Structure 1
């Protein structure tokens, strides 16, 4: 899946522009942010637990992205 140049569906577009340009956050950096937040939510460094939380969120995001694409 190529994520390049695909708009966000949850984050406001103007904030995403700011994040990319002013904060200088790449998509890889956002993966690190997601991992850190999942680790914080889980309260553990257990990779399996963190991966489970991330997978659940990923499925939710993919569902929203699919709905947005179908609505367009």
Structure 2
């Protein structure tokens, strides 16, 4: 996964803000488009990256690993 992909940008912002709505406002993209990317990644990877909570979204352990990898530039496309 390229650290410059649309998914990576959306994922990193959701991780930082814990909210699809806040991310959508910040990136000027619809929340549904961001959610589709997150759901597609869940399907592709076979593991959830976020837990949906009443007050927003929280990264799972897998999400935290991906976030750290993207920050360090260790996540590449295959």
Q: Please give the TM-score of this superposition, normalised by the length of structure 2.
A: 0.28
| Bigger radius of gyration | 1
- More RCO (CA 8 Å, sep 6+): 2
Compare the two structures and name the one with the higher helix fraction.
1
Q: Please give the TM-score of this superposition, normalised by the length of structure 1.
A: 0.29
